[in-house]
């Protein structure tokens, strides 16, 4: 039977404020699943025009799928969020790109016609569940020299990237990190971050009750001089520090993804249209280069060039991997198209949840920049992968027209 693929749209995304991982963090005694359930409930609250029974799938990512991040989290979170027991759900693990994969998975199902509306997201409580907790890597991956031992340490892979690209100096990385902090501070001052946040009630046996309303990791006032003397934990006299990397973070995200037809039927807003997506593998030892071939592949699929991309939301796991991406595509370190609200170096990076943060921020930037037609969300992924998703801005005058008409033109 002939089959026509459906157009897929991003309706709404939200996230919790991100917290510092550990006993001193604001989510130290808050369950991981409760964080993502808060996001899902907020999505339903913001969209009363969406009957809960119309949500046909829930995909929730977590990198460490044990404890309160285990037990088929998508299904359990769906029930806790108040969705009917007829709504199925599942869990995803693609490390840092978990939520990104959750979105592209449900988008593929929608495009194929197996469902019309889904919720996708991710959660990581790195305070409760440190990266690598209870894992047992097969020793053959090292003993048979399938990968170098450094491939199993994301910080070590960032140092390897410095080795491969000497032009990516520590000074450039520190300057980029300071700019990320400054951009996030400015975005908060201009009210650009707050609309995406879900207030979370917290409880602590010693500190009592509280409300999480803003991100905890940012360090306003950071200077290059502050960062210059930080220790390099992954290598003596290295270049990767806590200042030019994303810190250990707790947090969750969720979004509504729908077919364009279902969104029109129910009156759901269309904040972005999915154009293309790609996941690729790279050498695990330099996993930070992953967004480069992933973006190249997605651009080929869409019939676009990097010149067509008017806004970029790149996950800042490490400053060095962002700079590797920018250098490859001939983009300046301070290009205003890149991470307008700052990035994970300032905001934090709760691993599997971050992909939807990128998408939510891109959608808000689309509203403010109707002259931009296409945007990109991209990230590096542990064990040597990269992911990239290209989106179209519904506020652009050419929205929905044939993509070939703009091929090679500036966005």
The residues annotated with a catalytic role in the active site are 96, 349, 380
> Based on the number of CB atoms within 10 Å of its own CB, is 330 exposed (0-12), middle (13-18) or buried (19 or more)?
exposed
**Rounded to an integer, what distance in angstroms lies between the CA atom of residue 400 and that of residue 402?**
7
The answer to whether the CB of 317 falls within 8 A of the CB of 246 is yes
> Based on the number of CB atoms within 10 Å of its own CB, is 165 exposed (0-12), middle (13-18) or buried (19 or more)?
middle
3-state DSSP assignment of residue 125: strand
- DSSP codes, 303-356: T--GGGEEEEEE--SBHHHHHHHHHHTT--TT-TTB-TT--HHHH---GGGHHH
> What is the β-pairing status of strands 19-20 and 374-381?
unpaired
Q: Which tokens is 101 given?
A: 């994969």
Q: How far apart are the first and last CA of the chain?
A: 38
Q: Which tokens is 248 given?
A: 């250990």
**Rounded to an integer, what distance in angstroms lies between the CA atom of residue 310 and that of residue 244?**
25
**Rounded to an integer, what distance in angstroms lies between the CA atom of residue 221 and that of residue 189?**
14
**Rounded to an integer, what distance in angstroms lies between the CA atom of residue 352 and that of residue 349?**
8
The answer for 231, left when phi > 0, alpha when psi is -120 to 50, beta otherwise, is: beta
Count Cβ atoms below 10 Å from residue 24 Cβ, excluding itself. Answer: 11
Q: Report the DSSP beta bridge partners of residue 281.
A: 385
Q: Which tokens is 14 given?
A: 């939200």
Distances (CA, A) of 136 to 71, 116, 133, 152: 19, 38, 9, 12
Q: Which tokens is 144 given?
A: 């048979």
């Amino acid at each position: 039977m002939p089959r026509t693929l459906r157009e897929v749209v991003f309706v709404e995304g939200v996230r919790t404020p991100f917290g510092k991982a550990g006993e001193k963090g604001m989510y130290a005694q808050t369950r991981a699943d409760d964080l993502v359930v808060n996001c899902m409930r907020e999505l339903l609250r913001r969209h009363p025009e969406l009957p809960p029974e119309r949500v046909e799938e829930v995909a929730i990512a977590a990198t460490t799928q044990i404890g309160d991040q285990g037990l088929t989290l998508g299904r359990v979170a769906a029930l806790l969020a108040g969705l009917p027991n007829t709504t199925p759900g599942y869990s995803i693990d693609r490390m840092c790109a978990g939520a990104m994969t959750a979105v592209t998975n449900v988008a593929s199902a929608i495009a194929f016609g197996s469902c019309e509306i889904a919720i996708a997201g991710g959660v990581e409580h790195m305070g409760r569940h440190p990266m690598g907790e209870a894992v047992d890597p097969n020793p053959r991956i090292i003993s048979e020299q399938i990968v170098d031992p450094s491939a199993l340490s994301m910080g070590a892979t960032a140092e390897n990237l410095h080795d491969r690209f000497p032009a990516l100096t520590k000074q450039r990385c520190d300057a980029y990190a300071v700019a990320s902090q400054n951009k996030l501070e400015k975005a908060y001052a201009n009210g650009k971050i707050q609309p995406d946040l879900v207030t979370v009630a917290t409880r602590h046996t010693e500190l009592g009750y509280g409300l999480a309303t803003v991100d905890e990791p940012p360090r306003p006032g950071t200077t290059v001089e502050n960062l210059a003397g930080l220790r390099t934990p992954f290598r003596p006299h290295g270049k990767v520090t806590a200042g030019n990397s994303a810190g250990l973070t707790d947090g969750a995200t969720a979004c509504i993804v729908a077919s364009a037809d279902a969104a029109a039927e129910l009156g759901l807003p269309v904040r972005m249209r999915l154009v293309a997506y790609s996941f690729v593998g790279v050498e695990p030892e330099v996993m930070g280069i992953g967004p480069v071939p992933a973006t190249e592949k997605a651009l080929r699929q869409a019939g676009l060039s990097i010149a067509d991309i008017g806004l970029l939301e790149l996950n800042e796991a490490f400053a060095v991997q962002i700079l590797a991406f920018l250098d490859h595509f001939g983009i300046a370190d301070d290009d205003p198209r890149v991470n307008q609200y700052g990035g994970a170096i300032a905001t934090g990076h709760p691993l599997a949840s971050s992909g939807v943060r990128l998408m939510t921020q891109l959608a808000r930037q689309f509203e403010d920049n109707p002259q931009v037609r296409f945007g990109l969300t991209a990230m590096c992924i542990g064990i040597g992968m990269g992911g990239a998703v290209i989106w179209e801005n519904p506020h652009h005058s050419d929205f929905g027209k044939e993509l070939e008409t703009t091929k090679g033109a500036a966005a």
